[in-house]
Amino acid sequence: MAGRPADSLLGPDDPVPFEVFNAAGNSPFLLIGDHAGAAVPRTLGNLGVAPGEMDRHIAIDIGVREMGKALARLLDAPFVHQVYSRLVIDCNRAPARDDAVPIVSDGSRIACNENLTDAARTARIEAIHTPYHSATAALIDARAAADRPTILLSLHSFTPRIDGTDRHWDVGILHWLGNTAFAHALRDALTENDDIIVGDNVPYCMDETDYTVPFHAFGRGIGYAEIEVRQDLIGDPDGRHSWAVRLSQAARRASTQLNGF
């Protein structure tokens, strides 16, 4: 399942702004990937970034797309994921925020994002940000109308080193407001594994800078967790499969503990 709005930013040769993998998944879990893609609309060229920058963490959450699909299969869950790079428009930021279209990311200048007109910014929001979130909301609402429970799992990955500092956690579970019970249960289930280091609201802390989970989960009162896996652990197929298995087992334990399913 995929979707493409009619707009002037995305041409016929550009990919659709989001994809839904395993749309008919029947479990209570709904997976999302705000930064799973690295595509750039052809009209924006290479965003003015240096060669190789689009392969870095500043442009994409490395490993999330493939790990998300593996996790979706294991959990029998839909996986809605963004196709375009966070450097085009960051779908985990409110569209009005300055950092939704970053000018600098981890020291790298994004030249194409400088001096962006209101019209150009609006085009990115309408072509990419809005369709992705509309599709996510529609899935959640359809499940609610069918009296099906939803646990929202937001999948991300983080760079092992930033600003000269090593990040020693293997995985972090992020949470803030709303129904945090599942996030806490998932954190605790992962902590049962003695061979990994689990962070609680690290290496990032969910707060007002986050958009997706607060927008979709808090007001609806549904369970959620934002999952951050260190990128060097899911940089190859074996690592992605291993973490998909680990996360699926922990998610099922947490869900059974809380909800009986």
Whichever domain contains 133, its CATH number is: 3.40.630.40
Mean pLDDT, the chain, integer: 95
For strands 151-158 and 223-230, give the pairing.
parallel
Q: Determine phi and psi for 3, rounding to 5 degrees.
A: -145, 145
In 10 A of CB 20, how many CB atoms?
A: 19
Picking from 25, 1, 250, the residue whose alpha carbon sits closest to that of residue 143 is 25
**pLDDT tens per residue, the chain (261 residues)?**
554 444 579 999 999 999 999 999 999 999 999 999 999 999 999 999 988 899 999 999 999 999 999 999 999 999 999 999 999 999 999 999 999 999 999 889 999 999 999 999 999 999 999 999 999 999 999 999 999 999 999 999 999 988 778 899 999 999 999 999 999 999 999 999 999 999 999 999 999 999 999 999 999 999 999 999 999 999 999 999 999 999 999 999 999 999 877
Cβ(71)–Cβ(155) under 8 Å? yes
Query: How many domains, in total, are found in the chain?
Result: 1
Residue at token pair 């994002």: 113
Cβ(95)–Cβ(129) under 8 Å? yes
In 10 A of CB 15, how many CB atoms?
A: 15
Picking from 219, 67, 51, 23, the residue whose alpha carbon sits closest to that of residue 157 is 67
Picking from 111, 230, 224, 241, the residue whose alpha carbon sits closest to that of residue 177 is 224
CA dist 141 and 133 (Å) reads 12
Tell me which residue range forms the domain holding 39.
2-259
DSSP codes of every residue in 35-83: T---B--GGGTTTTPPTTGGGSTTTS-TTHHHHHHHHHHHHT--EEEE-
- pLDDT score, position 165: 84
Distant-in-sequence, close-in-space partners of 125: CB < 8 Å, separation ≥ 6? 89, 95, 100
Q: What is the pTM of this model?
A: 0.95
**3-state secondary structure (DSSP) of residue 124:** helix
DSSP codes of every residue in 164-189: TEE---SEEEE--SS--HHHHHHHHH
- pLDDT score, position 6: 41
Cβ(216)–Cβ(31) under 8 Å? no
Exposure string of 107-136, with b = 16+ CB inside 10 Å and e = fewer, is: eeebebbeeeeeeebebbbbbbbbbbbebb
Cβ(45)–Cβ(112) under 8 Å? yes
Cβ(190)–Cβ(117) under 8 Å? no
**3-state secondary structure (DSSP) of residue 147:** coil
- pLDDT score, position 163: 75
